[in-house]
Chain A
């Protein structure tokens, strides 16, 4: 089995802490990578030691430096990571329908969630393999 890692790409530290805690409460062994924006997220993905990992990305849309959409575009354009090993879930506080429509353009987006994440959502992310 591939080693699994969850990326929390979001500029809100409290949100990241909440998600981190909720995951750790359920499975302390899962590796979590916190990224403050899309640029940091991409940099982390590119690290060679992650090459064989299964990565679940919980991606916010509105972030400074590199937002969620630009993160996805960069990911599509450049061969940063084997997309088959990557599951992206959009997690946003916005309830704007346009975001949902836009998300359909990216085939590797596996789901669209509104904040806050419920315990069921968290358990689903842990269960992904």
Chain B
């Protein structure tokens, strides 16, 4: 088993047991089976709890008798679990309390040992098994924490929704900051409330189909201050016990869309300038060139030369006006 390898070399077993005879027996077994072991003994809840709550204290595993002079039963188990959250607990019990011991497994207890059946081998095996399991559970807990961090600190707004009602179950930090709602606000809301009503249907289609066509237009979202943003929406269905959730992530594309519309507008202007170039500038220009061709044909009289020169001037001025117009359109372009 590759993943379970970091069992501590030195064990500290805390035995909470008020029966001196039982304690001595168990201590003997432990010393017999484990080379490096420290046994810490308490005979009542108060002193055990004080020890476990002290951050300086060592505890690899707790062996707990269910009847102590100052506390017993469920309450004892709960209190000890609270005092030593990640330390595996094994219950020591007699036949009389077997049902209670079995029920305690629901409370997070790792295992139980029936006192009359304890022998060194059983004890050894139980402790090793509990430690391995605890190690494994800690790994899962760490991974869960990693995934939670991944969710909470992801830079894009991300939500967890109930797949049936679309109620918001969780919202990460980025969502809270971007939308101006805190987690409590979000948890009162259903995800479709962020959208205008007209988008309810496409939103549901999008959530069901999971992946959206690239060319589909973005969705609109309202922020808490009433302003609108345009978003690309991505979602995945994830299953959980007794139902399923959607994890939904958005990408604010408002800026991008603004840029695209600016570029489109500028393209229109460019086209209009190109059209002006092609049609309006060429008209007087081609006329001027035509007149030069004409003049090269050696006009018959000075009057004719004067006539063409006058016409040249008219066309040149016309062209000047058009060029000025193009320049002013280009300025308009700069301002946008």
Binding site for B on A (CB under 8 A): 12, 14-15, 18-19, 21-22, 25, 62, 93-96, 114-119
Taking a contact as CB atoms under 8 Å apart, the answer to whether B290 and A115 are in contact is yes
Total A-B pairs, Cβ < 8 A: 55
Q: Please tell me if B285 contacts chain A, counting CB pairs below 8 Å.
A: yes
Cβ < 8 Å to A, chain B residues 267-306? 275, 278-279, 282-283, 285-287, 289-294, 297
Cβ < 8 Å to A, chain B residues 119-155? none
Chosen A-B contacts, 25 in total, with CB atoms closer than 8 Å, are A12-B283, A12-B287, A14-B291, A14-B311, A14-B315, A18-B291, A18-B293, A25-B297, A62-B279, A93-B279, A93-B283, A93-B285, A94-B278, A95-B278, A96-B275, A114-B286, A115-B282, A115-B287, A115-B289, A116-B287, A116-B290, A116-B293, A117-B293, A118-B293, A119-B297
A4 and B286 alpha carbons, distance in the complex (Å) = 27
Set of chain A residues within 8 Å of B315, measured between Cβ atoms: 14
Range of interface residues on chain B?
A: 10 to 19
Binding site for A on B (CB under 8 A): 275, 278-279, 282-283, 285-287, 289-294, 297, 311, 315
A114 and B290 alpha carbons, distance in the complex (Å) = 11
Give min CB distance, B290 to chain A, whole Å: 3
Give min CB distance, A69 to chain B, whole Å: 14
In the complex, residue of chain B having the shortest beta-carbon distance to the beta carbon of A12: B287
A25 and B289 alpha carbons, distance in the complex (Å) = 18
A117 and B278 alpha carbons, distance in the complex (Å) = 17
Taking a contact as CB atoms under 8 Å apart, the answer to whether A119 and B286 are in contact is no
A62 and B278 alpha carbons, distance in the complex (Å) = 12
Taking a contact as CB atoms under 8 Å apart, the answer to whether A22 and B293 are in contact is yes
Give min CB distance, B317 to chain A, whole Å: 13
Give min CB distance, A62 to chain B, whole Å: 7
Give min CB distance, A115 to chain B, whole Å: 3
Given the interface contacts A94-B282, A95-B278, A115-B282, does A15 sit within 8 Å of B297 by beta carbon?
Answer: no
In the complex, residue of chain B having the shortest beta-carbon distance to the beta carbon of A25: B297
Set of chain A residues within 8 Å of B283, measured between Cβ atoms: 12, 93
Set of chain B residues within 8 Å of A19, measured between Cβ atoms: 290
A47 and B285 alpha carbons, distance in the complex (Å) = 35
Give min CB distance, A32 to chain B, whole Å: 15
Give min CB distance, B300 to chain A, whole Å: 10
In the complex, residue of chain A having the shortest beta-carbon distance to the beta carbon of B300: A25
